[in-house]
Structure 1
Amino acid sequence: MTIEYEWRGDFDNASLNALHADGFGHPVGRTEWRARLERHSLGWVCAWEDGALIGFVNVAWDGGVHAFVLDTVVARHRRTRGVGAELVATAAREARAARCEWLHVDFEERLRSFYVDACGFKETAAGLIAL
């Protein structure tokens, strides 16, 4: 298994919609990912295996020193092999290279060990308002 990680990788919307549906367990959507990412993101990381998109993470930002990990997803058949952790590590390196000082992430309790143990995030106090 040779997996390549690419910062601001060239993907098509159909492939990312299919990966997102597989990874998050919902029907395949029709999101215009490219336009959304170009408008709101510092960058993104694609994981490729044999030309297929098997992983993705979005790195949104505030235009300054704060970057935010969103939509971390790995194809179900490639989970538990370190792909997600490498996606996040690549995102952190690239955010650092862009002079960001902080990389934030919000996650559900079931993902705590991934983000804290596997990726090295530190727990912080945070707030949330459901809209």
Structure 2
Amino acid sequence: MKPTLYGIKNCDTVRRARKDLAERGVDYRFHDFRAEGIEPTTISGWVDMLGIDQVLNRRGTTWRKLGQQVQDPTDVSALIALMAEHPSLIKRPVFQRDQQVQTGYPRAEAESRLAWFAGAEQPDSPPQQD
């Protein structure tokens, strides 16, 4: 099964990752979760693997535009539902290979992230964000 890169096609970081993958000839599927949507069960699986702080983007414009009442929930299921409703709240890109997931595309880890996504062993260090 092909690995899947999840993101939003207009996101600069996603565009950089897609360009780097194309330059390396990596065969993958792209899922634009703004255009195609994203199932809460998929997000829930990512949160189970990585934790809410590795999946929820609290630094973006969408988060800042939400009212304080929406931002306050500590209930993970409410946050997952919010991400499904507003996919731009998901940290991007999301790399999924087999049953493993990594979020973000930090420049310092780009090579190891791409190698892992293309089929190399998972890096020793935990996933990090930009």
TM-score (normalizing by structure 2): 0.30
With CA pairs under 8 Å and 6+ residues apart, which has the higher RCO, 1 or 2? 2
